[in-house]
Amino acid sequence: MNPKLMIKTGILAFGLMGASVAPAANIVKWNAAGGEEEEALKLKPDLENGLDVFEVCSACHLTEGWGVKNGTFPQIAGQHRNVLIKQLADIRAGNRDNPTMYPFSLPESIGDAQALADVTAYISKLPMNPDWGKGPWAPGTPEYAEGEKLFKENCVKCHGKHGEGNNEKFYPRIQGQHFEYMMRQFKWIRDGKRRNANPDMIKQIKNFSDDDMKKVINYVSQQKVDPKLLAPSKDWQNPDFAD
């Protein structure tokens, strides 16, 4: 293992021992102006430094940024840069509870607002995994159709027709994301456990049953991603990390 990565892994282990999760009721403003997020958004990114910072991220998200199909770690490759900046800034500020990622995200681990600007620019340009984790129901099944109806009635306004999201409005790309990861996040948002969630989404999905949740997330997970955003194959390897 790279010595730099070994140091960061040690920081992670130490951070987990002292990590605490704030009460779910302590909901923070979804996208308040100011702070490190606004600073990072204004900075010109340095992709070379972004690669250096991403080496820390790759310990969990893999060198391709693809995460893992079981949803333990999400696919971050190809995610909108503004979304990545917001989520990193929120985790660093304690506005989003993520004990696993928190020590990795700290300034002493990866750097200041410039580092956020750099690494998010690098990640957003990575090609996505063409073989992400999908839900159990394929197009043509009744469950898929029910999920499609729920998505069109509740999700299109923010996440777009195919889950492509919106960079300018900080709505994440959810097409191409792992089914199991989206299931966990949806449940946490619905149940008030993700404190930096968009309040409009909380209101929109508060009455979703677990069955509704599974069907709508299954539908999203089956949506096609623009081929221009995908790696050429599931065996693609990030050349920046080639031996």
- Domains defined along the chain, listed by start: 3-128 (1.10.760.10), 142-229 (1.10.760.10)
Q: Taking 50 as the threshold, does the pLDDT of residue 2 lie above it?
A: no
Report the candidate in 77, 128, 132 with the shortest Cα–Cα distance to residue 231: 128
Q: What pLDDT, on a 0 to 100 scale, did the predictor assign at position 41?
A: 97
The predicted structure's pLDDT at residue 30: 73
pLDDT in tens, 199-232: 999 999 999 999 999 999 999 999 999 999 999 9
Q: What is the pLDDT of residues 108-138, one digit of tens each?
A: 999 999 999 999 999 999 999 999 999 999 9
pLDDT value of position 28: 64
Measured CA to CA, the distance from residue 187 to residue 160 in angstroms comes to 20
pTM (predicted TM-score):
0.88
What is the Cα–Cα distance from 77 to 131, expressed in whole angstroms?
Answer: 13
- Which residue did the predictor score with more confidence, 2 or 131? 131
224 by DSSP, 3-state: which? coil
Q: Is the pLDDT of residue 24 over 50?
A: no
Rounded average pLDDT over 75-95: 96
**C-beta of residue 57 within 8 angstroms of C-beta of residue 119:** yes
Contact, 50 vs 122, CB < 8 A? yes
Reading the block at residue 21, the tokens are 């999760």
Choose between 49 and 6: higher pLDDT. 49
**pLDDT reported for residue 26:** 58
Mean pLDDT computed over 39-49: 97
- The mean pLDDT value for 52-71 works out to 97
Model confidence band, residue 33 (pLDDT cutoffs 50, 70, 90):
low
How far is residue 64 from each of residues 21, 137, 179, measured CA to CA in Å?
A: 29, 27, 18
Measuring CA to CA, how many Å separate 98 from each of 127, 171, 216, 237? 25, 19, 25, 27
Structure confidence at residue 32 as a pLDDT band (50, 70, 90): confident
Q: How confident is the model at residue 29 (pLDDT cuts 50, 70, 90)?
A: confident
